[in-house]
Amino acid sequence: MKYKHATDILPANLIAQIQKHYHSGAVWIPAPSEHKTAGRKERQERDDLIVKLYENDISMKEISKVAQITEERVRQIIQKAKKNPNPS
């Protein structure tokens, strides 16, 4: 995550309102819940695809290249799927 200076992205009146409640320091603003839900759904779809590729005898090395994640992460996803089979 990159930090942005408030004056570069927020209107002055909003900054003034925030300063009434918080005088100085970093403030984290979470993403709206629909963004979080979309991210989870995309990750789940990716993980499901990884498991299917593995079940079709595609190597972890190849899967990691396609999914652009490390082989260790591929292993973790596959192990999680083995522990918690998803009835589809």
Q: Rounded CA gap, 75 and 23, in Å? A: 46
User: For residue 4, how many other CB atoms are within 10 A of its CB?
Assistant: 10
What confidence tens digit (pLDDT) does each residue in 4-63 have? 888 999 999 999 999 999 888 888 887 777 666 667 888 899 999 999 999 999 999 999
Structure tokens at 68: 């652009």
Residue 46, classified by CB atoms within 10 Å of its CB into exposed (0-12), middle (13-18) or buried (19+), is middle
For the chain, which residues make up each domain, given as ranges?
Answer: 6-83
Query: Is the pLDDT confidence value at 88 over 90?
Result: no
Q: What is the pLDDT of residue 85?
A: 78
* CA distances for 80 relative to 34, 45, 85, angstroms: 25, 14, 8
* Model-wide pTM > 0.85: no
Give the Cβ contact number of residue 63 at 10 Å.
Answer: 22
